Amino acid sequence: MQKRTLGKDGLEVSGLGLGCMGLSFGLGPAVETRQGIALIRAAVERGVTFFDTAEIYGPYANEELVGEALAPFRGQVTIATKFGFGIDADTGKPTGDLDSRPEHIKAVAEASLRRLRIDAIDLFYQHRVDDAVPIEDVAGAVKDLIAQGKVKHFGLSEAGAKTIRRAHAVQPVAALQSEYSLFWREPEQQIIPTLEELGIGFVPFSPLGKGFLTGAIDANTQFAEGDFRNVVPRFAANARKANLALVELLRGIAERKRATPAQIALAWLLAQKPWIVPIPGTTKLHRLEENLGAANLVLSADDLHDIAQASSRVALQGARYPEHLQKLVGR
The answer to whether position 235 is within a domain reads yes
The answer to whether position 222 is within a domain reads yes
The answer to whether position 130 is within a domain reads yes
Task: Give tens-digit pLDDT for 219-274.
Answer: 999 999 989 999 999 999 999 999 999 999 999 999 999 999 999 999 999 999 99
Rounded Cα gap, residues 84 and 133, in angstroms: 11
In the chain the first and final C-alpha atoms are separated, in Å, by 35
What 3-state class would DSSP assign to 305?
A: helix
User: What is the structure's pLDDT at 175?
Assistant: 98
Where does 84-238 show beta strands of DSSP type E? 85-87, 94-98, 121-126, 151-157, 173-179, 201-205
The answer to whether position 331 is within a domain reads no
Query: What percentage of residues in the chain have a pLDDT greater than 90?
Result: 98
Q: pTM for the complete prediction?
A: 0.98
The answer to whether position 288 is within a domain reads yes
List of residues 6+ apart from 301 with CB closer than 8 A = none
Cβ atoms < 10 Å from Cβ of 79: 25
How high is the mean pLDDT of the chain? 97
Q: What is the CATH number of the domain that holds 127?
A: 3.20.20.100
Cβ atoms < 10 Å from Cβ of 69: 24
Give how many domains the chain has, as a whole number.
1
Which residues participate in catalysis according to the annotation?
57
Task: Give tens-digit pLDDT for 127-140.
Answer: 999 999 999 999 99
Kindly indicate the confidence band of residue 64, based on its pLDDT and cuts at 50, 70 and 90: very high
User: What is the structure's pLDDT at 184?
Assistant: 97
Kindly indicate the confidence band of residue 203, based on its pLDDT and cuts at 50, 70 and 90: very high
Task: Give tens-digit pLDDT for 134-180.
Answer: 999 999 999 999 999 999 999 999 999 999 999 999 999 999 999 99
SS3 content of the chain, % helix, strand, coil (to 5): 45, 15, 40
The answer to whether position 178 is within a domain reads yes
For the cut 90, the answer to whether the pLDDT of residue 28 exceeds it is no
Query: What percentage of residues in the chain have a pLDDT greater than 70?
Result: 100
Rounded Cα gap, residues 269 and 182, in angstroms: 8
Kindly indicate the confidence band of residue 34, based on its pLDDT and cuts at 50, 70 and 90: very high
Q: Residue 222: give the domain boundaries.
A: 3-326
